[in-house]
Amino acid sequence: MIHGVDNPRIRDSAKCLSLIMATAIRPGSDTDTKAKIKAYGATTLEGKHVKIERDGAVRLQFVGKKGVSLDIPVENPKVAAMLKECAQKAGTDGKLFPATNARILRTYTHEVGAEDIKPKDFRTLLATRTAYEAVESIPPPATKAEFDKAVKKVGVAVSKKLGNTPTVALQSYISPDVFAKWEAGLGV
């Protein structure tokens, strides 16, 4: 058990990290980028970003990095319940996790994990897991052309999860090991 659950910084950081682990959203930053549209991440989300559907399902709807509109289903029931509670406490314009920010979250992640683990690493983990699932759902390619097409298809699946481009997903979030089985089958 983590000590200090009565500490708002620890409690909000734990909740925020569980959200990142469940949805792969970016941690966020309090730095003003002077962008035309304000972008949000896990540490900066507000109550207005939590949408509760008629059937009780929870979604996050907000503008992410580079002005990308995100609509993320929250499939983990515990995280969904936590978001409902946080949104109710926050109201429309209040932060979901008011006692944390990017720096505090990074420190918390180091304390509960290891010094070389960052909140972004959980985003990468979920991206790689999504890529493995996509690889398993696609028939193994028989040619280099099919391989390239299948890799792009995996990149698209991961980019939808992360809210970025397939190129960024493939370059920055998916371990090349994901494609090892396919490559071995092609003799690449």
Sheet containing 69-74: order of strands: 50-52, 58-63, 69-74
- Bridge-partner residues for 72, per DSSP? 60
- Give the tens place of pLDDT for each residue, 55-105: 999 999 999 888 889 999 999 999 999 999 999 999 988 999 999 999 999
List pLDDT tens digits, range 100-119.
999 999 899 888 876 678 88
Domains, the chain, ordered by start: 8-117 (3.90.15.10), 120-186 (1.10.132.120)
pLDDT score of 22 more than 90:
yes
Per-residue exposure over 16-48, b if at least 16 CB sit within 10 Å of its own CB, e if not: bbbbbbbbbbbbbbeeeeeeeeebbbbbbbbbe
- Sorting pLDDT into bands at 50, 70 and 90, what band is 2? very low
The answer on pLDDT for 33 being more than 70 is no
Q: Alpha helix (H) ranges present in the chain?
A: 8-23, 77-90, 102-112, 119-137, 144-162, 166-168, 180-186
Q: Which tokens belong to 151?
A: 């890799």
